Protein backbone atom coordinates (compact mmCIF):
# COMPACT_ATOMS: atom_id res chain seq x y z
CA UNK A 1 0.00 0.00 0.00
CA UNK A 2 1.32 3.38 -1.00
CA UNK A 3 1.28 5.78 1.94
CA UNK A 4 1.68 9.44 1.12
CA UNK A 5 1.31 12.68 2.96
CA UNK A 6 -1.12 15.23 1.69
CA UNK A 7 -1.71 18.84 2.66
CA UNK A 8 -4.77 19.22 0.48
CA UNK A 9 -8.07 20.36 1.82
CA UNK A 10 -11.35 18.87 0.81
CA UNK A 11 -11.88 21.15 -2.16
CA UNK A 12 -8.63 20.40 -3.96
CA UNK A 13 -8.40 16.69 -3.23
CA UNK A 14 -9.10 13.79 -5.51
CA UNK A 15 -9.90 10.54 -3.73
CA UNK A 16 -12.39 7.67 -3.64
CA UNK A 17 -12.99 7.81 0.09
CA UNK A 18 -12.72 10.58 2.68
CA UNK A 19 -12.13 9.60 6.28
CA UNK A 20 -12.98 12.30 8.81
CA UNK A 21 -13.33 12.20 12.58
CA UNK A 22 -15.63 13.71 15.18
CA UNK A 23 -15.80 13.84 18.95
CA UNK A 24 -18.48 12.80 21.37
CA UNK A 25 -18.32 16.10 23.24
CA UNK A 26 -16.77 18.95 21.31
CA UNK A 27 -17.95 18.37 17.78
CA UNK A 28 -16.27 17.97 14.45
CA UNK A 29 -12.67 17.91 13.34
CA UNK A 30 -12.02 20.62 10.71
CA UNK A 31 -12.24 18.03 7.92
CA UNK A 32 -15.58 16.73 9.18
CA UNK A 33 -16.79 20.32 9.47
CA UNK A 34 -15.84 20.92 5.86
CA UNK A 35 -17.82 17.85 4.77
CA UNK A 36 -20.71 19.08 6.87
CA UNK A 37 -20.68 22.52 5.23
CA UNK A 38 -20.43 21.06 1.73
CA UNK A 39 -23.36 18.73 2.40
CA UNK A 40 -25.52 21.40 4.07
CA UNK A 41 -25.26 19.94 7.53
CA UNK A 42 -25.63 16.19 7.07
CA UNK A 43 -23.11 15.37 9.77
CA UNK A 44 -24.60 17.73 12.33
CA UNK A 45 -28.02 16.23 11.65
CA UNK A 46 -26.64 12.72 12.18
CA UNK A 47 -25.21 13.89 15.47
CA UNK A 48 -28.41 15.60 16.54
CA UNK A 49 -30.43 12.46 15.87
CA UNK A 50 -27.90 10.32 17.76
CA UNK A 51 -27.23 8.28 14.62
CA UNK A 52 -23.55 9.15 14.93
CA UNK A 53 -22.48 9.95 18.47
CA UNK A 54 -18.72 10.25 18.02
CA UNK A 55 -17.91 7.31 20.26
CA UNK A 56 -14.60 5.52 19.81
CA UNK A 57 -14.78 2.65 17.26
CA UNK A 58 -18.03 3.98 15.80
CA UNK A 59 -17.81 4.27 12.01
CA UNK A 60 -20.61 5.66 9.83
CA UNK A 61 -20.35 5.23 6.09
CA UNK A 62 -22.01 8.02 4.10
CA UNK A 63 -22.47 7.30 0.41
CA UNK A 64 -23.02 9.91 -2.30
CA UNK A 65 -23.40 12.89 -0.01
CA UNK A 66 -24.95 15.79 -1.91
CA UNK A 67 -22.43 18.58 -2.42
CA UNK A 68 -19.43 16.32 -1.82
CA UNK A 69 -17.66 15.10 -4.92
CA UNK A 70 -16.13 12.05 -3.25
CA UNK A 71 -18.53 9.13 -3.35
CA UNK A 72 -17.87 7.72 0.10
CA UNK A 73 -17.26 9.51 3.37
CA UNK A 74 -16.36 7.53 6.48
CA UNK A 75 -17.18 9.42 9.64
CA UNK A 76 -15.42 7.91 12.62
CA UNK A 77 -15.79 8.57 16.32
CA UNK A 78 -12.92 9.66 18.55
CA UNK A 79 -14.69 9.80 21.91
CA UNK A 80 -14.30 12.74 24.23
CA UNK A 81 -11.75 15.20 22.94
CA UNK A 82 -10.28 15.78 26.40
CA UNK A 83 -9.69 12.05 26.86
CA UNK A 84 -8.21 11.35 23.45
CA UNK A 85 -5.03 9.32 23.83
CA UNK A 86 -2.74 7.41 21.51
CA UNK A 87 -4.43 4.05 22.10
CA UNK A 88 -7.91 5.43 21.39
CA UNK A 89 -6.87 7.23 18.24
CA UNK A 90 -4.98 4.16 17.01
CA UNK A 91 -7.97 1.89 17.48
CA UNK A 92 -10.50 4.40 16.15
CA UNK A 93 -8.47 5.03 13.01
CA UNK A 94 -7.93 1.28 12.58
CA UNK A 95 -11.67 0.64 12.95
CA UNK A 96 -12.40 3.17 10.20
CA UNK A 97 -9.72 1.71 7.92
CA UNK A 98 -10.92 -1.82 8.58
CA UNK A 99 -14.47 -1.02 7.50
CA UNK A 100 -13.41 0.84 4.39
CA UNK A 101 -11.04 -1.97 3.43
CA UNK A 102 -13.94 -4.40 3.11
CA UNK A 103 -13.89 -3.37 -0.57
CA UNK A 104 -11.03 -2.49 -2.91
CA UNK A 105 -10.30 1.27 -2.88
CA UNK A 106 -7.86 3.21 -5.00
CA UNK A 107 -7.25 6.40 -3.04
CA UNK A 108 -8.33 6.89 0.53
CA UNK A 109 -7.84 10.33 2.05
CA UNK A 110 -7.55 10.19 5.81
CA UNK A 111 -7.71 13.49 7.67
CA UNK A 112 -5.92 14.07 10.94
CA UNK A 113 -7.01 16.83 13.28
CA UNK A 114 -4.57 19.78 13.20
CA UNK A 115 -5.11 20.05 16.98
CA UNK A 116 -3.48 16.68 17.57
CA UNK A 117 -0.03 16.33 19.07
CA UNK A 118 2.63 14.52 17.09
CA UNK A 119 2.02 11.37 19.12
CA UNK A 120 -1.71 11.37 18.32
CA UNK A 121 -1.06 11.99 14.64
CA UNK A 122 1.48 9.15 14.52
CA UNK A 123 -0.95 6.79 16.21
CA UNK A 124 -3.80 7.67 13.87
CA UNK A 125 -1.68 6.94 10.81
CA UNK A 126 -0.28 3.74 12.32
CA UNK A 127 -3.83 2.63 13.13
CA UNK A 128 -5.05 3.34 9.61
CA UNK A 129 -2.20 1.28 8.16
CA UNK A 130 -2.79 -1.63 10.55
CA UNK A 131 -6.60 -1.66 10.30
CA UNK A 132 -6.79 -2.25 6.57
CA UNK A 133 -4.50 -5.30 6.57
CA UNK A 134 -6.09 -8.66 7.33
CA UNK A 135 -5.14 -12.27 7.93
CA UNK A 136 -6.46 -13.45 4.55
CA UNK A 137 -2.96 -13.96 3.14
CA UNK A 138 -3.93 -17.08 1.21
CA UNK A 139 -7.56 -16.38 0.34
CA UNK A 140 -8.31 -15.98 -3.36
CA UNK A 141 -11.25 -13.79 -2.40
CA UNK A 142 -9.88 -11.31 0.08
CA UNK A 143 -11.83 -10.09 3.07
CA UNK A 144 -9.68 -7.02 3.48
CA UNK A 145 -8.19 -4.81 0.76
CA UNK A 146 -5.26 -2.56 1.69
CA UNK A 147 -5.84 0.68 -0.17
CA UNK A 148 -4.12 1.41 -3.44
CA UNK A 149 -2.98 4.62 -1.81
CA UNK A 150 -3.48 6.03 1.65
CA UNK A 151 -3.32 9.82 1.51
CA UNK A 152 -2.84 11.00 5.04
CA UNK A 153 -3.50 14.66 5.57
CA UNK A 154 -1.29 16.35 8.13
CA UNK A 155 0.91 19.41 8.26
CA UNK A 156 3.41 17.49 10.39
CA UNK A 157 5.90 15.63 8.19
CA UNK A 158 7.75 14.16 11.19
CA UNK A 159 4.65 12.60 12.71
CA UNK A 160 3.73 11.34 9.26
CA UNK A 161 7.09 9.62 8.83
CA UNK A 162 6.99 8.09 12.31
CA UNK A 163 3.38 6.93 12.03
CA UNK A 164 4.07 5.26 8.74
CA UNK A 165 7.11 3.43 10.07
CA UNK A 166 5.18 2.28 13.16
CA UNK A 167 2.20 1.07 11.14
CA UNK A 168 4.26 -0.75 8.54
CA UNK A 169 6.51 -2.33 11.16
CA UNK A 170 3.46 -3.55 13.08
CA UNK A 171 2.13 -5.07 9.88
CA UNK A 172 5.46 -6.82 9.28
CA UNK A 173 5.12 -8.45 12.70
CA UNK A 174 1.51 -9.37 11.99
CA UNK A 175 2.26 -10.87 8.61
CA UNK A 176 5.06 -13.05 9.98
CA UNK A 177 2.78 -14.35 12.73
CA UNK A 178 -0.12 -14.89 10.34
CA UNK A 179 2.00 -16.82 7.84
CA UNK A 180 1.56 -20.59 8.20
CA UNK A 181 4.33 -22.63 9.79
CA UNK A 182 5.02 -24.23 6.41
CA UNK A 183 6.23 -20.81 5.26
CA UNK A 184 7.74 -19.36 8.41
CA UNK A 185 10.22 -21.66 10.08
CA UNK A 186 13.56 -20.78 11.68
CA UNK A 187 15.57 -20.36 8.49
CA UNK A 188 12.86 -18.54 6.52
CA UNK A 189 12.23 -16.20 9.46
CA UNK A 190 15.96 -15.51 9.59
CA UNK A 191 15.96 -14.68 5.87
CA UNK A 192 13.14 -12.18 6.37
CA UNK A 193 15.07 -10.72 9.29
CA UNK A 194 18.19 -10.38 7.12
CA UNK A 195 16.38 -8.51 4.36
CA UNK A 196 14.51 -6.34 6.86
CA UNK A 197 17.81 -5.51 8.54
CA UNK A 198 19.29 -4.45 5.23
CA UNK A 199 16.42 -2.06 4.50
CA UNK A 200 16.44 -0.62 8.01
CA UNK A 201 20.23 -0.27 8.23
CA UNK A 202 20.60 -2.76 11.04
CA UNK A 203 23.51 -5.09 11.45
CA UNK A 204 22.41 -8.68 11.28
CA UNK A 205 24.13 -11.85 12.34
CA UNK A 206 22.59 -15.30 11.95
CA UNK A 207 23.78 -18.26 13.96
CA UNK A 208 23.10 -21.61 12.34
CA UNK A 209 23.05 -24.96 14.06
CA UNK A 210 26.79 -25.48 14.04
CA UNK A 211 27.41 -22.03 15.51
CA UNK A 212 24.77 -22.67 18.17
CA UNK A 213 26.62 -25.90 18.96
CA UNK A 214 29.94 -24.15 19.15
CA UNK A 215 28.32 -21.60 21.47
CA UNK A 216 27.04 -24.39 23.76
CA UNK A 217 23.38 -23.40 23.44
CA UNK A 218 22.32 -26.74 24.91
CA UNK A 219 18.83 -25.71 26.00
CA UNK A 220 17.78 -24.15 22.71
CA UNK A 221 19.30 -27.00 20.73
CA UNK A 222 17.45 -29.61 22.77
CA UNK A 223 14.10 -28.08 21.82
CA UNK A 224 15.12 -27.92 18.17
CA UNK A 225 16.24 -31.53 17.99
CA UNK A 226 12.83 -33.04 17.24
CA UNK A 227 12.39 -30.92 14.13
CA UNK A 228 13.57 -31.40 10.58
CA UNK A 229 13.96 -27.61 10.46
CA UNK A 230 17.24 -26.52 12.01
CA UNK A 231 17.21 -23.67 14.56
CA UNK A 232 18.59 -20.17 14.12
CA UNK A 233 19.53 -17.26 16.32
CA UNK A 234 19.14 -13.86 14.71
CA UNK A 235 21.06 -10.99 16.27
CA UNK A 236 20.15 -7.52 15.03
CA UNK A 237 21.96 -4.40 16.07
CA UNK A 238 21.28 -0.70 15.81
CA UNK A 239 24.16 1.50 16.90
CA UNK A 240 22.64 4.93 17.25
CA UNK A 241 24.39 5.83 20.50
CA UNK A 242 28.07 6.32 21.19
CA UNK A 243 30.42 3.44 22.03
CA UNK A 244 30.09 4.30 25.75
CA UNK A 245 26.30 4.48 25.69
CA UNK A 246 24.29 1.70 27.35
CA UNK A 247 22.67 -1.04 25.27
CA UNK A 248 19.04 -2.04 25.27
CA UNK A 249 18.41 -5.70 24.41
CA UNK A 250 15.09 -6.92 23.02
CA UNK A 251 14.77 -10.70 23.16
CA UNK A 252 11.97 -12.65 21.47
CA UNK A 253 10.71 -16.20 21.69
CA UNK A 254 10.58 -17.53 18.15
CA UNK A 255 9.02 -21.00 18.29
CA UNK A 256 7.77 -21.11 14.72
CA UNK A 257 5.48 -23.97 15.63
CA UNK A 258 4.81 -25.46 19.06
CA UNK A 259 3.41 -28.98 18.90
CA UNK A 260 4.31 -29.44 22.56
CA UNK A 261 6.89 -32.08 21.65
CA UNK A 262 6.44 -35.41 23.42
CA UNK A 263 4.23 -33.61 25.95
CA UNK A 264 2.05 -33.14 22.92
CA UNK A 265 -0.74 -30.58 22.81
CA UNK A 266 -4.30 -31.57 21.97
CA UNK A 267 -5.58 -30.28 18.62
CA UNK A 268 -7.43 -27.36 20.14
CA UNK A 269 -4.35 -26.09 21.91
CA UNK A 270 -2.12 -26.66 18.89
CA UNK A 271 -4.10 -25.09 16.13
CA UNK A 272 -2.92 -21.52 16.74
CA UNK A 273 0.64 -22.45 17.63
CA UNK A 274 2.06 -20.78 14.54
CA UNK A 275 1.72 -17.71 16.76
CA UNK A 276 4.43 -18.97 19.10
CA UNK A 277 7.05 -16.89 17.32
CA UNK A 278 5.18 -13.66 18.02
CA UNK A 279 7.81 -12.50 20.52
CA UNK A 280 10.54 -12.78 17.88
CA UNK A 281 8.33 -11.13 15.25
CA UNK A 282 7.60 -8.27 17.64
CA UNK A 283 11.31 -7.79 18.22
CA UNK A 284 11.92 -7.75 14.47
CA UNK A 285 9.11 -5.25 13.87
CA UNK A 286 10.38 -2.98 16.63
CA UNK A 287 14.00 -3.23 15.44
CA UNK A 288 12.90 -2.27 11.94
CA UNK A 289 11.20 0.82 13.31
CA UNK A 290 14.13 1.70 15.56
CA UNK A 291 16.53 1.39 12.63
CA UNK A 292 14.40 3.43 10.24
CA UNK A 293 13.82 6.10 12.89
CA UNK A 294 17.54 6.06 13.57
CA UNK A 295 16.97 6.48 17.30
CA UNK A 296 20.06 7.86 19.08
CA UNK A 297 20.66 4.76 21.22
CA UNK A 298 22.22 1.33 21.02
CA UNK A 299 19.72 -1.49 20.67
CA UNK A 300 20.20 -5.20 20.05
CA UNK A 301 17.39 -7.49 18.94
CA UNK A 302 17.52 -11.24 19.46
CA UNK A 303 15.21 -13.78 17.84
CA UNK A 304 15.59 -17.33 19.17
CA UNK A 305 14.11 -19.51 16.42
CA UNK A 306 13.17 -23.17 16.74
CA UNK A 307 10.35 -25.52 15.88
CA UNK A 308 9.10 -27.70 18.77
CA UNK A 309 8.35 -31.06 17.16
CA UNK A 310 8.46 -34.78 17.70
CA UNK A 311 10.82 -37.32 16.18
CA UNK A 312 12.87 -40.33 17.23
CA UNK A 313 15.51 -37.84 18.27
CA UNK A 314 13.24 -35.38 20.11
CA UNK A 315 14.21 -34.29 23.61
CA UNK A 316 12.54 -36.26 26.37
CA UNK A 317 11.06 -35.93 29.83
CA UNK A 318 13.81 -36.57 32.33
CA UNK A 319 16.52 -35.27 30.03
CA UNK A 320 19.02 -32.98 31.69
CA UNK A 321 20.26 -30.10 29.57
CA UNK A 322 23.22 -27.83 30.08
CA UNK A 323 22.31 -24.24 29.22
CA UNK A 324 24.84 -21.85 27.76
CA UNK A 325 25.45 -20.18 31.13
CA UNK A 326 26.37 -23.57 32.64
CA UNK A 327 23.19 -24.20 34.61
CA UNK A 328 21.67 -27.67 34.31
CA UNK A 329 17.97 -28.09 33.58
CA UNK A 330 15.79 -31.13 34.19
CA UNK A 331 13.10 -31.37 31.51
CA UNK A 332 9.77 -32.47 32.96
CA UNK A 333 7.53 -31.13 30.20
CA UNK A 334 8.64 -30.65 26.60
CA UNK A 335 5.81 -28.17 26.12
CA UNK A 336 7.57 -25.73 28.45
CA UNK A 337 10.02 -25.11 25.60
CA UNK A 338 9.95 -21.33 25.28
CA UNK A 339 11.84 -20.80 28.51
CA UNK A 340 14.53 -23.23 27.32
CA UNK A 341 15.01 -21.29 24.10
CA UNK A 342 15.08 -17.97 25.93
CA UNK A 343 17.52 -19.27 28.55
CA UNK A 344 20.33 -19.46 26.01
CA UNK A 345 19.34 -16.34 24.08
CA UNK A 346 19.22 -14.25 27.27
CA UNK A 347 22.70 -15.47 28.10
CA UNK A 348 24.00 -14.35 24.71
CA UNK A 349 22.44 -10.91 25.29
CA UNK A 350 24.13 -10.69 28.69
CA UNK A 351 27.48 -11.71 27.22
CA UNK A 352 27.16 -9.14 24.45
CA UNK A 353 26.82 -6.35 26.95
CA UNK A 354 23.10 -5.72 27.33
CA UNK A 355 22.64 -3.06 30.01
CA UNK A 356 18.93 -3.68 30.28
CA UNK A 357 16.79 -6.45 28.83
CA UNK A 358 13.17 -6.95 27.79
CA UNK A 359 12.02 -10.31 26.59
CA UNK A 360 8.72 -10.96 24.86
CA UNK A 361 7.24 -14.41 24.68
CA UNK A 362 3.98 -16.24 24.13
CA UNK A 363 5.17 -18.16 27.14
CA UNK A 364 2.29 -19.54 29.19
CA UNK A 365 -1.37 -20.34 29.01
CA UNK A 366 -1.31 -19.54 32.72
CA UNK A 367 -0.78 -15.86 31.94
CA UNK A 368 -3.93 -15.91 29.81
CA UNK A 369 -5.79 -17.57 32.69
CA UNK A 370 -4.57 -14.82 35.02
CA UNK A 371 -5.08 -11.74 32.84
CA UNK A 372 -7.27 -12.72 29.91
CA UNK A 373 -6.63 -12.37 26.22
CA UNK A 374 -6.08 -8.64 25.97
CA UNK A 375 -3.49 -7.99 28.66
CA UNK A 376 0.17 -8.95 28.79
CA UNK A 377 1.87 -9.94 32.04
CA UNK A 378 5.04 -8.18 33.15
CA UNK A 379 7.55 -9.76 35.52
CA UNK A 380 10.79 -8.15 36.53
CA UNK A 381 13.90 -8.22 38.69
CA UNK A 382 14.16 -4.41 38.56
CA UNK A 383 11.22 -2.24 39.52
CA UNK A 384 12.33 1.04 37.86
CA UNK A 385 13.00 -0.72 34.58
CA UNK A 386 9.58 -2.35 34.68
CA UNK A 387 7.93 1.00 35.49
CA UNK A 388 9.55 2.61 32.46
CA UNK A 389 8.09 -0.14 30.27
CA UNK A 390 4.65 0.07 31.88
CA UNK A 391 4.72 3.83 31.30
CA UNK A 392 5.52 3.37 27.62
CA UNK A 393 2.78 0.77 27.26
CA UNK A 394 0.27 3.09 28.93
CA UNK A 395 1.23 5.91 26.57
CA UNK A 396 0.67 3.63 23.58
CA UNK A 397 -2.59 2.19 24.91
CA UNK A 398 -1.28 -1.38 25.04
CA UNK A 399 -2.35 -2.94 28.35
CA UNK A 400 0.18 -4.69 30.57
CA UNK A 401 -0.29 -5.76 34.19
CA UNK A 402 2.54 -6.57 36.53
CA UNK A 403 2.69 -9.89 38.36
CA UNK A 404 4.72 -10.43 41.54
CA UNK A 405 8.07 -12.20 41.65
CA UNK A 406 8.13 -13.32 45.31
CA UNK A 407 10.96 -15.70 46.02
CA UNK A 408 8.49 -18.44 47.01
CA UNK A 409 7.69 -18.91 43.34
CA UNK A 410 11.35 -19.64 42.70
CA UNK A 411 11.25 -22.58 45.13
CA UNK A 412 8.99 -24.37 42.69
CA UNK A 413 11.59 -24.70 39.96
CA UNK A 414 14.28 -26.33 42.11
CA UNK A 415 15.16 -29.84 40.99
CA UNK A 416 16.53 -32.85 42.87
CA UNK A 417 18.50 -33.90 39.82
CA UNK A 418 19.71 -30.69 38.25
CA UNK A 419 20.02 -27.01 39.16
CA UNK A 420 16.47 -26.25 38.06
CA UNK A 421 13.56 -27.90 36.30
CA UNK A 422 11.55 -26.43 33.46
CA UNK A 423 8.15 -26.49 35.17
CA UNK A 424 6.79 -25.51 38.57
CA UNK A 425 4.95 -27.86 40.93
CA UNK A 426 1.56 -28.09 39.29
CA UNK A 427 0.12 -25.42 37.10
CA UNK A 428 -0.87 -22.69 39.57
CA UNK A 429 1.09 -19.50 39.17
CA UNK A 430 2.57 -20.87 35.97
CA UNK A 431 3.23 -17.49 34.40
CA UNK A 432 5.42 -16.53 37.34
CA UNK A 433 7.29 -19.81 37.77
CA UNK A 434 8.17 -19.46 34.07
CA UNK A 435 9.51 -15.95 34.74
CA UNK A 436 11.47 -17.24 37.72
CA UNK A 437 13.08 -19.73 35.37
CA UNK A 438 14.07 -16.98 32.92
CA UNK A 439 15.51 -14.89 35.73
CA UNK A 440 18.19 -17.56 36.18
CA UNK A 441 19.67 -16.54 32.83
CA UNK A 442 19.82 -12.75 32.92
CA UNK A 443 23.02 -12.50 34.93
CA UNK A 444 21.47 -10.04 37.36
CA UNK A 445 20.91 -7.40 34.66
CA UNK A 446 17.81 -5.23 34.90
CA UNK A 447 15.29 -7.34 33.05
CA UNK A 448 11.55 -7.39 32.38
CA UNK A 449 9.70 -10.31 30.90
CA UNK A 450 6.48 -9.69 28.96
CA UNK A 451 4.26 -12.73 28.58
CA UNK A 452 2.21 -11.94 25.47
CA UNK A 453 0.46 -15.32 25.11
CA UNK A 454 -2.93 -13.55 25.29
CA UNK A 455 -2.57 -10.31 23.32
CA UNK A 456 -0.31 -11.54 20.49
CA UNK A 457 -3.06 -13.41 18.68
CA UNK A 458 -6.83 -12.92 18.42
CA UNK A 459 -9.12 -15.90 17.98
CA UNK A 460 -11.98 -13.61 17.06
CA UNK A 461 -11.87 -10.18 15.44
CA UNK A 462 -12.04 -6.81 17.18
CA UNK A 463 -13.89 -3.85 15.67
CA UNK A 464 -10.49 -2.38 14.80
CA UNK A 465 -8.60 -5.51 13.84
CA UNK A 466 -9.03 -8.75 11.96
CA UNK A 467 -8.57 -11.91 13.97
CA UNK A 468 -5.09 -13.43 13.98
CA UNK A 469 -1.86 -11.61 14.74
CA UNK A 470 -2.14 -8.24 16.45
CA UNK A 471 1.38 -6.83 16.31
CA UNK A 472 0.90 -5.92 19.96
CA UNK A 473 3.81 -4.13 21.65
CA UNK A 474 5.74 -3.08 18.56
CA UNK A 475 4.74 0.51 19.33
CA UNK A 476 5.44 0.07 23.03
CA UNK A 477 8.94 -1.27 22.35
CA UNK A 478 9.75 1.70 20.14
CA UNK A 479 8.49 4.01 22.88
CA UNK A 480 10.62 2.16 25.42
CA UNK A 481 13.62 2.67 23.16
CA UNK A 482 12.92 6.42 22.99
CA UNK A 483 12.61 6.63 26.78
CA UNK A 484 15.74 4.53 27.23
CA UNK A 485 17.72 7.24 25.47
CA UNK A 486 16.42 10.04 27.69
* Contacts with Zn ion, residue ranges (CB under 5 A): 255, 258, 276, 338
Given Zn ion, ligand BES, Mn ion, none, residue 333, with its beta carbon under 5 to 8 Å by kind, binds ligand BES
Work out whether 466 is an interface residue with Mn ion (CB under 5 A): no
Work out whether 258 is an interface residue with Mn ion (CB under 5 A): yes
Taking a C-beta distance cutoff of 8 angstroms, is the pair 430, 359 a contact? no
Number of residues that bind Mn ion (CB under 5 A): 3
User: How is 309-325 classified by DSSP, letter by letter?
Assistant: ---TT---TT-EEE-TT
Given Zn ion, Mn ion, ligand BES, none, residue 172, with its beta carbon under 5 to 8 Å by kind, binds none
Closer by beta carbon to ligand BES, 95 or else 376:
376
In angstroms, the CA 369 to CA 68 distance is: 50
Closer by beta carbon to Zn ion, 94 or else 306:
306
Give which of 99, 113, 149, 96 is closest to 32, Cα–Cα. 113
Closer by beta carbon to Mn ion, 18 or else 361:
361
In angstroms, the CA 265 to CA 294 distance is: 42
In angstroms, the CA 94 to CA 478 distance is: 19
Which listed range, 88-96, 165-173, 288-296, 358-366, lies at the site for ligand BES (CB under 6 A)? 358-366
Given ligand BES, Zn ion, Mn ion, none, residue 173, with its beta carbon under 5 to 8 Å by kind, binds none
Taking a C-beta distance cutoff of 8 angstroms, is the pair 377, 400 a contact? yes
In angstroms, the CA 352 to CA 291 distance is: 19
Given ligand BES, Zn ion, Mn ion, none, residue 423, with its beta carbon under 5 to 8 Å by kind, binds ligand BES
Contacts of 452 by beta carbon, 8 Å cutoff, 6+ apart = 278, 279, 282, 360, 361, 362, 363, 376, 472, 473
CB of 468 to ligand BES, least distance (A): 13
**DSSP label of 220:** H
Closer by beta carbon to ligand BES, 103 or else 271:
271
- Alpha-carbon Rg for the chain in angstroms: 23
- Helix (H) or strand (E) holding 83, with range, is none
CB of 361 to Zn ion, least distance (A): 8
User: Inter-axis angle of helices 118-131 and 86-100, to 10 degrees?
Assistant: 30
Closer by beta carbon to ligand BES, 42 or else 370:
370
Sign of the dihedral defined by the CA atoms of residues 184, 188, 192, 197, in that order: positive
Closer by beta carbon to ligand BES, 282 or else 364:
364
* Binding to Mn ion, residues 316-335 (CB under 5 A): 335
SS3 254: strand
CB of 365 to Mn ion, least distance (A): 9
Give which of 391, 348, 380 is closest to 448, Cα–Cα. 380
Contacts of 102 by beta carbon, 8 Å cutoff, 6+ apart = 143, 144, 145
Among 364, 381, 412, 448, binds ligand BES (CB under 6 A): 364
Taking a C-beta distance cutoff of 8 angstroms, is the pair 207, 235 a contact? yes
CB of 263 to Mn ion, least distance (A): 8
Q: Which of 91, 232, 288, 339 is catalytic?
A: 339
Chain-centre distance for alpha carbon 404? 23
Closer by beta carbon to ligand BES, 400 or else 453:
453
Work out whether 453 is an interface residue with ligand BES (CB under 6 A): yes
Judge whether 239 counts as a catalytic residue: no
Work out whether 261 is an interface residue with ligand BES (CB under 6 A): no
Q: Which of 265, 316, 394, 462 is catalytic?
A: 265
Number of residues that bind ligand BES (CB under 6 A): 16
Which listed range, 18-26, 71-79, 201-209, 335-343, lies at the site for ligand BES (CB under 6 A)? 335-343
Window 412-451: contact mask with ligand BES (x via CB under 6 A): -----------x------x---------------------
Work out whether 451 is an interface residue with Mn ion (CB under 5 A): no
Taking a C-beta distance cutoff of 8 angstroms, is the pair 104, 48 a contact? no
Taking a C-beta distance cutoff of 8 angstroms, is the pair 302, 348 a contact? yes
Give which of 414, 465, 460 is closest to 436, Cα–Cα. 414
CB of 264 to Mn ion, least distance (A): 10
* Binding to Mn ion, residues 333-352 (CB under 5 A): 335, 337
Given Zn ion, Mn ion, ligand BES, none, residue 190, with its beta carbon under 5 to 8 Å by kind, binds none
In angstroms, the CA 265 to CA 269 distance is: 6
Give which of 128, 122, 56 is closest to 94, Cα–Cα. 128
Closer by beta carbon to Zn ion, 255 or else 303:
255
Judge whether 265 counts as a catalytic residue: yes
Work out whether 191 is an interface residue with ligand BES (CB under 6 A): no
Give the footprint of ligand BES on this chain (CB under 6 A): 258, 276, 333, 335-338, 362-366, 368, 423, 430, 453
Catalytic residues: 265, 339
Amino acid sequence: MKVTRSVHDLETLSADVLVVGHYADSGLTPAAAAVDRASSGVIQRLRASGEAAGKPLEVTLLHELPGVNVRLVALFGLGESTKLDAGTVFRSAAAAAKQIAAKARERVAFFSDPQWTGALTESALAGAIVGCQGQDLYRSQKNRFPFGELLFTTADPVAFAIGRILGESTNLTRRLVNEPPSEIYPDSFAQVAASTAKNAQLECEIWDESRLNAERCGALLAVARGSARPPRLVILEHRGGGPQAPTLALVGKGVTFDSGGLSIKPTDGMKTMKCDMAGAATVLGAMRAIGLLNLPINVQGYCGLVENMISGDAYKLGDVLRARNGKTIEVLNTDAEGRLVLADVLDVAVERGASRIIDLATLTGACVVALGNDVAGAMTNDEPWCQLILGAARACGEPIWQLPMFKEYGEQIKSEVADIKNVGDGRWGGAITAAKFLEEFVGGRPWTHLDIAGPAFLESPKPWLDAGATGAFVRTLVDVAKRFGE
